[in-house]
Amino acid sequence: ALPKRHCQLTMLDLSHNPVGDAGAQALATFLGSNKSLVFLDLSAASIGPIGVSALFEVLGDGNNTLCSLDLGSANSTGRNIIGASGAEAISGCASANTSLTYLSLAATRITAEQGTSISAGLRRNRYLRSLDLSENAFGDEGLAAFAESINLLDMASLTLSRSQWGDKGGVQLAKALLACKPPVRKLDVSNNALSYTGALEIAQVAAGSNTVLSELNLSGCHLGALGVKGVVEGLSYKEFV
């Protein structure tokens, strides 16, 4: 292998390999001294909480060049698992890292409690621009905790699809998004269970006076005629200031 000081690689894709915790720890050691890598794809790489913790600990203290990290898992094969210790490491990284602008934690079995832990770190982050938390078991409780931190983020794209939340979480998310400065531009909340109330509130985000939302995905949200009526009313919402 080339000496680290000679490495000029900017993109590394190791997705769909059985990297595991040991491989992730080796990568973390490399990232501690590497100054060239910008994009790292470790999606569906069979990494568990130990490996996740190692990666985010070095990103929180030692690496300030990596901009994009994908740890998502498209299906059950090779799924990465965050776990409690991984969530704590992500939280610590989020509050300290100044280079990461894209992060995917899709389908990594994040629970409501772990989501709350991650959200605590996100409250202190000003650099992340795109975040994918889809296909995790947040529920309304986890989404509520995330909503408390979102109005402090400078987020252009947010994906919260298939995360097991409904109207209660959707209302809280919508209120937080309306308060975002700067506001989110692309929002994917597909495949969650919404009715008239949740659809109305979320659609209003696209009509708020502070909004620049240009893309909204409500696919698979069980919206019948009444739910669609909520979407239409929300999009027609006029905010009085």
HEC profile of 47-68: CCHHHHHHHHHHHHCCCCCCCE
What is the pLDDT at residue 2? 47
pLDDT, averaged across the chain: 91
Per the rule left: phi > 0, alpha: psi between -120 and 50, beta: everything else, 219 is beta
The torsion angles phi and psi of 132, rounded to 5 degrees, stand at -115, 110
Burial of 240 (0-12, 13-18, 19+ CB in 10 A): exposed
The percentage of residues in the chain with a pLDDT greater than 90, rounded to a whole number, is 76
pLDDT average, residue stretch 149-174: 91
pLDDT average, residue stretch 172-180: 89
What is the pLDDT at residue 212? 84
What is the pLDDT at residue 219? 97
What is the pLDDT at residue 238? 60
CB 202 within 8 A of CB 194: yes
Give the C-alpha separation, 111 to 162, whole Å: 13
Q: Which residues are bridge partners to 216 per DSSP?
A: 187
pLDDT digits (tens, 9 = 90+) for 70-113: 999 977 789 999 999 999 999 999 999 999 999 999 999 999 99
* Cβ-proximal residues to 96 (8 Å cutoff; 6+ apart), any chain: 60, 61
pLDDT digits (tens, 9 = 90+) for 24-81: 999 999 999 998 999 999 999 999 999 999 999 999 998 999 999 999 997 778 999 9
The residue written with tokens 């949200």 in the block is: 221
What is the pLDDT at residue 6? 66
CB 106 within 8 A of CB 69: no
Q: Which residues are bridge partners to 188 per DSSP?
A: 159, 217
CB 16 within 8 A of CB 71: no
